[in-house]
Chain A
Amino acid sequence: MAELTAVVGIGQTKYQSKHLDHSMPSLVRVAAEKALADADCTWADIDAVILGKAPDMFEGVMMPELWLNDAIGGAYKPMLRVHTAGSVGGSTGIVAASMVQSGIHERVLCVAFEKQSESNATWALSISMPFSLASVAGAGGYFAPLVRGYMRRSGAPEDTGIRVAVKDRQNALKNPLAHLQLEDISFDMVANSPMLWDPIRYLETCPSSDGACAMVMESEALASKRSNKVAWIHATEMRSEPTQFSGRDQVMPQATLDNSKALYKKAGITNPRKELDCAEIYVPFSWFEPMWMEGMRIAPINEGWKMTYEGATALDGDFPVNMSGGVLSSNPIGASGLIRFAEAARQVRGIADAHQVDGAKKALGHAYGGGSQYFSTWIVSSEKP
């Protein structure tokens, strides 16, 4: 059945609001070349390429994988383009892994990117359709009411979100690739930042970034020969549910609960809080840290905020979350999920530099998208299962 597969190369660009120094092909190529260098491979060593990104309208190119194919070394090779809304980066990693896990390929390259500076994402996300009234202002307008729902039902202290934002922004200072580098970040600075989509403040939201992330994955036969540390993929999982249906719990969707349950079963994990050393979770608005701590069954329902409050999710806490600074610090949308997966792999490979969690052996990568309805996750480890 599934062949054991490992992440052996990781490459990322610097994340910033405008990459005027790179065209789209150049942006994806930089990330891909770094991943190849990390894996000590050449283009000829790659059997297939997988490209992921969010909606085509973000850059105004229809199915841009066709045009970008030779920039990522896909000429005369199999190439797939994944698109599963905001979770696409994670799904891209999962599809790439499956190409090796199925025994079809020995070594694959996946790349995910977004170059938001070349279009207007809020426009692309809020195109006025006829027949309906446009009242949702981008992603913030969509998710703010859900955050309010979470606050109401969990009774979480109102400054929980501020604490998440401060923590992730402090972590970003240790990650030179992170987009937002706020040297003087403080509780008051976040608390006093303008309220954008009440109850979400400006500094509790993610930036709009350009950037690309790439990974090389390999079969056990190849990866076992390597002398450096690789990240073994213990489990991957995906779940989707419809956007709207009667009785849908949008704050804590069944899809996330089902996803985490199935993921841990595959990975042989019974107590994720204890058995996982750290996690990179898709948190585009600060409050989603406590929400997804619950969705990933790391904290009991309505108690995720306690982990934030007690400092458990800090870099020096007992369950560090978003050591890289997370989506709150860098958000090239289509790449953001793959960055979570890649940063989890960096941790267990022990190559996360200043934001390394000491001795991290097992880590979770997580992405979600759509109206909190698409989930993709993986668990990687420094040890074989």
Chain B
Amino acid sequence: MSDDKNDPVEIFRGHVELDYQYTAGVSASRFLRAVEQGKFLGQKCPVDGRVYFPSRGSCPMHAVPFGDDSTVELPDKGTVVTYSIVRVPSENIPLELPYITVQVLIDGADTALGHVLDANLDDVRMGMRVQAKWKPKSEWTTSMANIEYFVPIDEPDADYETYKEHI
């Protein structure tokens, strides 16, 4: 901005700050309480039996709520169905560049979870088997951030046919 009185005002900085208090929701709360205990919970659709992970309030295909009895416990291992190597900084993400974002299909789940993978950039591939690396137990809270990242594990890659419908 120029101080010259005859120059137009082209831009000024305004500050907008609003506080919000979010509610996770009934279903997500159940999920997050389990994550706080180091457990993954999925939910089974009462119509087609497909397992949603992370669990959510309802089945988006059938618009039916997931009741208490729909909960199933899942392992913390899964398959990378697709990924990207990110080299662009983003204000909301504190990770060092470059980092790998992955869509992980947890074993027994029918929807993929977005997370971060700690691996050699050259090694990451579709079908790679991975497992959650949890933070120290003393730091666990009701957040998916309890999982620091996923790490590769020594298992043969999953066959493309087994996960291709989850991309």
Are A and B physically bound partners? yes
The CA of A248 and the CA of B166, in the complex, are separated in Å by 7
**A contact residues around B10 at 8 Å (CB):** 20
Q: Which of B61, B84, B95, B160 contacts A198 (CB 8 A)?
A: B84
The interface size of chain B toward A, counting residues with CB under 8 Å, comes to 49
Among A27-35, A146-154, A269-277, A353-361, which stretch is in contact with chain B? Answer: A146-154
Q: Which of B14, B110, B143 contacts A133 (CB 8 A)?
A: B143
The CA of A146 and the CA of B114, in the complex, are separated in Å by 13
Q: How does the 8 Å CB contact mask read for B19-54 relative to A, with 1 for contact and 0 for none?
A: 000101000100010000000000001001011100
The CA of A257 and the CA of B117, in the complex, are separated in Å by 33
* Given A120-B91, A244-B60: A145 and B32 interface contact (C-beta under 8 Å): no
Query: Can you list 13 A-B pairs, Cβ within 8 angstroms, ordered by A?
Result: A20-B10, A126-B90, A128-B92, A131-B22, A131-B32, A131-B144, A141-B86, A145-B102, A197-B84, A197-B88, A242-B61, A247-B50, A247-B110
**A contact residues around B126 at 8 Å (CB):** 148, 152
A140 touches B88 (CB 8 A): yes
Minimal Cβ-Cβ distance residue in A for B117: A135
**B contact residues around A198 at 8 Å (CB):** 84-87, 98
A60 touches B16 (CB 8 A): yes
B82 touches A249 (CB 8 A): no
Q: Is B70 an interface residue (CB 8 A)?
A: no
* Given A152-B126, A246-B111: A130 and B143 interface contact (C-beta under 8 Å): yes
4 extra interface residue pairs, beta carbon distance < 8 Å, beyond A131-B28, A135-B114, A245-B111? A126-B91, A133-B116, A195-B85, A247-B166
B92 touches A131 (CB 8 A): no
The CA of A122 and the CA of B89, in the complex, are separated in Å by 10
Q: Is A138 an interface residue (CB 8 A)?
A: yes
The interface size of chain A toward B, counting residues with CB under 8 Å, comes to 46
Q: Is A4 an interface residue (CB 8 A)?
A: no
Q: Is A215 an interface residue (CB 8 A)?
A: no
Q: Which of A133, A138, A247 contacts B145 (CB 8 A)?
A: A133
Q: Which of B59, B90, B167 contacts A137 (CB 8 A)?
A: B90
**B contact residues around A268 at 8 Å (CB):** none
**B contact residues around A20 at 8 Å (CB):** 10-11
B90 touches A133 (CB 8 A): no
Q: Is B55 an interface residue (CB 8 A)?
A: no
Taking the closest CB of chain B, its distance from the CB of A330, in whole angstroms, is 20
Q: Is A132 an interface residue (CB 8 A)?
A: yes
Q: Is B133 an interface residue (CB 8 A)?
A: no
* Given A246-B52, A246-B110, A249-B165: A137 and B60 interface contact (C-beta under 8 Å): no
Q: Which residues of A contact B (CB under 8 A)?
A: 20, 60, 117-118, 120, 122-123, 126-138, 140-141, 144-146, 148-149, 152-153, 194-200, 242-251
Q: Is B66 an interface residue (CB 8 A)?
A: no
Taking the closest CB of chain B, its distance from the CB of A347, in whole angstroms, is 34
B111 touches A141 (CB 8 A): no
The CA of A141 and the CA of B91, in the complex, are separated in Å by 13
Q: Which of A120, A123, A129, A251 contacts B22 (CB 8 A)?
A: A129
B84 touches A144 (CB 8 A): yes
**A contact residues around B167 at 8 Å (CB):** 145-146, 149, 152-153, 249-251
A131 touches B142 (CB 8 A): yes
Q: Is B103 an interface residue (CB 8 A)?
A: yes
Taking the closest CB of chain B, its distance from the CB of A154, in whole angstroms, is 12
**B contact residues around A122 at 8 Å (CB):** 90-91
* Given A122-B91, A132-B144: A197 and B165 interface contact (C-beta under 8 Å): no
**B contact residues around A135 at 8 Å (CB):** 93, 95, 101, 114-116
Q: Is B83 an interface residue (CB 8 A)?
A: yes
The CA of A126 and the CA of B167, in the complex, are separated in Å by 21
B84 touches A141 (CB 8 A): yes
Minimal Cβ-Cβ distance residue in B for A60: B16
Taking the closest CB of chain B, its distance from the CB of A194, in whole angstroms, is 7
**A contact residues around B103 at 8 Å (CB):** 145
Q: Is B147 an interface residue (CB 8 A)?
A: yes
Minimal Cβ-Cβ distance residue in B for A19: B10
The CA of A6 and the CA of B22, in the complex, are separated in Å by 46
Taking the closest CB of chain A, its distance from the CB of B23, in whole angstroms, is 10
| Interface of chain B residues 117 through 162 with chain A (CB within 8 A) | 126, 142-145, 147, 160
Taking the closest CB of chain B, its distance from the CB of A277, in whole angstroms, is 33
